[in-house]
Amino acid sequence: MRKTAFAAALAGLFIFIYNLSPSIYVGDSSELIAASATLGVAHPPGYPVFIIISSAMRTIFPAGNIAYRMNFINALFVFFALIFMSRWVAPPLLIYFCLSQVVFSSAVVCEVFTLNLLFACAIIYLLYIPRRKSAAAAAFLFGIGLANHQTLILLLPGIIYLLVKRKMFDFRFVIILTCAAWAGFSANIFLILRAKGGAVFNWGDPSTFNSFLRVILRKDYGTFALHGAHHNVTLKSLLTYPALGFTFFGPFFIFAPLLYGYVCRKADNFDHFLFICFLFSGPLFFMASGLSSPNRAFIEAIT
């Protein structure tokens, strides 16, 4: 890895640490900290991978109160994500990315989104290498990542496209990738074990098969919905997407898709893969998740 890229990622980490929340924050922060501290089951889908990893890492960093340590772990998740991103992102853009509102606000408090970002970047990093072993490793991480946050499934159309273009989508290899992904996804068994083991924090009590499915499928929220409120998707409400994107990521949010359109003919398969991932995890997810609510102030507050 280039020294300038590492320096940019390290600078981002220092900025996060300097601005870390000293204690619990609004939103899911207190719940996730309590679930991690007790090895419990958080709100659907339970976030077993986040609970396991944060609980293990928390013991390695004994300085500060438990909330501060959990916040610090989130900053580390973004730091490692930046390391992976440096494979295809220039150092100035790494700094730009980590200072964007949505990334910065998630990196200084306890949230599950930063670990989701880390998994996404690690998977894309592995897929950058056109080898079957790397693809199999990416599939395993994909399964683990899904056990952390199911929005990672939105990378799947892009992954399939890339595998097809690289002639890796033959039946035998697809079976191998599927088994690797299921092996990673089996981390969800943690939810059943802790529910049956008398976890103090036990949201949804996934001790039976039906309740387990209800938790991991987020039945109380509507699977992809990020909040439980009723929402309708209209053309007018969709106009809030570019406005929110500009708020969260600044002018580059508008510039990047235009740049892709400009170089589209010269772009390689990996470039197209990245754009497909953006398309599904951005505008299309925006429609399915309830983020297209006309109440922009509310969305900015919960994000």
> SS in 3 state form for the chain?
CCHHHHHHHHHHHHHHHHCCCCCCCCCCHHHHHHHHHCCCECCCCCCHHHHHHHHHHHHHCCCCCHHHHHHHHHHHHHHHHHHHHCCCCCHHHHHHHHHCHHHHHHHCCCCCHHHHHHHHHHHHHHHHCCCHHHHHHHHHHHHHHHHHCHHHHHHHHHHHHHHHHCCCCCHHHHHHHHHHHHHHHHHHHHHHHHHHCCCCCECCCCCCHHHHHHHHCCCCCCCCCCCCCCCCCCHHHHCHHHHHHHHHHCCHHHHHHHHHHHHHHHCCHHHHHHHHHHHHHHHHHHHHHCCCCCCHHHHHHHC
Say whether both 251 and 215 belong to one domain: no
Domain final residue, candidates 181, 196, 222 = 222
- Residues 140, 282, single domain; the answer is no
Verify that 237 and 165 share a domain, yes or no. Answer: no
Asked if residue 159 and residue 54 are part of one domain, the reply reads yes
Is 257 in contact with 209 (CB distance < 8 Å)? no
Out of 170, 204, 222, a domain closes at 222
One domain for residues 211 and 263 = no
Q: Are residues 175 and 258 in the same domain?
A: no
pLDDT in tens, the chain (303 residues): 678 888 999 999 999 999 999 988 888 899 999 999 999 999 999 999 999 999 998 888 777 889 999 999 999 999 999 999 988 888 888 888 888 888 999 999 999 999 999 999 999 999 998 999 999 999 999 999 999 998 999 999 999 999 999 999 999 999 999 999 999 999 999 999 999 998 899 999 999 999 999 999 888 775 555 555 555 555 555 666 666 666 666 676 666 667 666 667 666 888 889 889 988 887 777 766 655 554 455 445 545
- d(Cα 89, Cα 81) in Å, to the nearest integer? 11
On whether both 94 and 239 belong to a single domain, the answer is no
**What pLDDT does residue 61 have?**
79
Q: Are residues 12 and 109 in the same domain?
A: yes
What are 41's strand-pairing partners?
A: 202
pLDDT at residue 272, as a whole number: 86
**For 143-157, b where at least 16 C-beta lie within 10 A, e where not — what string?**
bbbbbbbbbbebbeb
60 and 85 housed in the same domain: yes
Residues 118 and 148 occupy one common structural domain? yes
- How many other β-carbons are positioned within 10 Å of the β-carbon of residue 296? 14
Closest among 10, 17, 6, 226 to 107, alpha carbons compared: 17
What pTM was estimated for this model as a whole?
Answer: 0.87
- The Cα–Cα gap between 269 and 142 comes to 20
* pLDDT score recorded for residue 15: 94
Instruction: Say yes or no: 87 and 139 in one domain.
Output: yes
- Is 63 in contact with 69 (CB distance < 8 Å)? yes
Task: Name the phi and psi angles at 243, rounded to 5.
Answer: -65, -45
What is residue 152's predicted lDDT score, i.e. its pLDDT? 94
Dist CA 120 CA 253 (whole Å): 18
Number of separate domains in the chain: 2
pLDDT at 302: 47
Residues of the domain holding 273: 224-303
Task: Give the torsion through C-alpha atoms of 42, 44, 48, 50, to 10 deg.
Answer: -70
> Do residues 215 and 231 both lie within one domain?
no
Of 193, 222, 251, which marks where a domain is finished?
222
pLDDT score at 271 = 85
